[in-house]
Amino acid sequence: MLILGIDPGTTSAGYALLENQANKLKILAADLIKVNSPKEEERLEEIYNCVRNLIKDWNPKMLALERLFFTNNQKTAIEVAQARGVILLTAALAGLKVYEYTPLEIKKIVSGDGKADKSQIKKILGLTLPDVKNLKAADDVFDAIAVALACHYKDARLTAFKI
């Protein structure tokens, strides 16, 4: 089962492809989707094209997406919500099952502590997925790995065993 995990953003978004093959977890790819366009509609189109290409190139069966949490900056929240909408539409058009998790849920599922900080999550990811241990990447990429792992723990295993 291949899961595409995404930590959405407006100028960059982290993504990770997590594979479970014979009960062995492996990160096949993890990086940033970098958005360069100055115009909002062009940025959304870039996000769409990048996510569509990831889906086309890797053929995941599931999309795990970090759910928006509200901050003090409403403008940022609205822009991230628009990016999430584009990602959700892209997944729907590709026929992927979509699972969404709040940051608190991701931390709780991955570490057992909903208040774990980024360094604790990175450490747990390194212990769970050895190929992540030496990964030099932005926090958004580690967030995407964590959301994909949360999906594996919570939903992918259940989906894989449904009759």
Asked if residue 35 lies in contact with residue 11, where contact means CB atoms within 8 angstroms, the answer is yes
Give residue 159's pLDDT band: very low, low, confident or very high (50, 70, 90): low
Give the pTM.
Answer: 0.90
The encoded tokens of residue 36 equal: 């360069």
Spell out where 35-94 has E strands.
Answer: 62-66
Mean pLDDT in residue range 141-157: 91
Mean pLDDT in residue range 46-71: 91
CATH code at position 88: 3.30.420.10
Mean pLDDT in residue range 64-91: 84
Looking at the 3D structure of the chain, how many domains does it have?
A: 1
Residues taking part in catalysis: 7, 66, 140
> Domain containing 83: what range?
2-160
C-alpha count within 13 angstroms, C-beta hemisphere, residue 131: 12
